[in-house]
Amino acid sequence: MQYRSLGKSGLKVSAIGLGTNAFGKRADKETSIRIVHEALDSGINMLDTANIYAGTQSESIIGDALAGRRHEAVLATKAGLPMGQGANDRGSSRFHLQRELEGSLRRLKTDYVDLYQIHTFDPGTPLEETLRTLDDFVSAGKVRYIGASNYAAWELMKALGISERLGLDRFVCTQASYSLADRTPESELIPLCLDQGVGLIPYFPLAGGILTGKYASAGEAAPEGSRAETDPSFRRFLGGRADELGRQTAALADELGVQPAVLAIAWLLARPAVATVIAGATKPEQLQANLAADALRLSEDALGQLDRISDGFRGGDPFAVYRLP
């Protein structure tokens, strides 16, 4: 397993990370714990979750899974998206973040998290308040590093500037939707990350499964257990050029003798600024398949072909972005 620095921090994270959005939903507790253990046994140390995943169940499952193995994980969670209907049940105010961090620590059965990320930009809270709160968490030993998620490039740059001006802990990473089916971060976010030493953590690296080849056969029903079957809202991403990209990726993967998901993740690992790729799994077999991307070194010709077939996804809207209403 490759290990990379998270931005310009001293923290080393596995090139392949484990996304846990499906824990407690598409993967039951027993299966999820098996996946976590297999990930750790395979050299993955980056475990990414959030307070809202599966209605807090993801964090609770991870807390149980890490019993006796907490020291092996770089444990990352997030807060900021709505946790309820109350006026203070969302955002990145001191009020909300203090409450949510304590809740996450209880569920994760730990007294600290290695990486605490603001799940999305909060236009209703001054960045100074958010960043001072995060700095206090670090000083208290409850958080080791801080990161952002779903921030526009200007929002992230503003936060970095405030941290520098006030002498506060700064974001070491940012999460964004990034894949062959969503290259929008390349216009502004990635140049910013390279300039400022911020690590990029792609989420939806397989575009929700589109790049695995599972939807490659036009007109066929969604595979049993797939995101398109269990989450009807996901179907809006299917059809047209996204499906065609999935078919072209699968065809190239077949030529190279690898699985389409492995090819898509290996392409991301070759992109600048990428620190770790968060790939989800609903069964251990998926995890093992994704791990093959760590050892795959793509030729310049293969990288060029992938760049060409995905070039149309540089512009337009992101594949996914999560913002406060």
pLDDT digits (tens, 9 = 90+) for 312-325: 999 999 999 999 98
- Whole domain around residue 138: which residue ranges? 3-313
In this structure, what CATH number is given to the domain that contains residue 281? 3.20.20.100
The one catalytic residue among 53, 151, 178, 203: 53
- Residue 137 in any domain: the answer is yes
- Residue 322 in any domain: the answer is no
**Count of domains observed in the chain:** 1
Joined together, the tokens standing for residue 28 give 């039951």
pLDDT band (50, 70, 90) for residue 217: low
Sign, CA torsion 176/181/185/191:
positive
pLDDT band (50, 70, 90) for residue 234: low
- Residue 26 in any domain: the answer is yes
145 catalytic? Reply is: no
- Residue 319 in any domain: the answer is no
Instruction: Give the containing element (helix H, strand E) for 142.
Output: none
Percentage of the chain modeled with pLDDT above 70: 92
Residues β-bridged to residue 46: 74
pLDDT at position 240 is: 73
- Residue 81 in any domain: the answer is yes
- Residue 75 in any domain: the answer is yes
Residue 272 predicted with pLDDT over 90: yes
Mean pLDDT, residues 48-66: 98
Comparing 116-120, 240-244, 301-305, the range with the smallest average pLDDT is 240-244
3-state SS class at 277: strand
Note the Cα 14 to chain centre separation in Å.
13
Residues β-bridged to residue 77: 116
Query: Does the pTM of the predicted model rise above 0.85?
Result: yes
Burial of residue 221, with CB atoms counted within 10 A of its CB: 0-12 exposed, 13-18 middle, 19 or more buried: exposed
pLDDT in tens, 86-99: 999 999 999 999 99
* Mean predicted lDDT score pLDDT of the chain: 94
pLDDT at position 213 is: 81
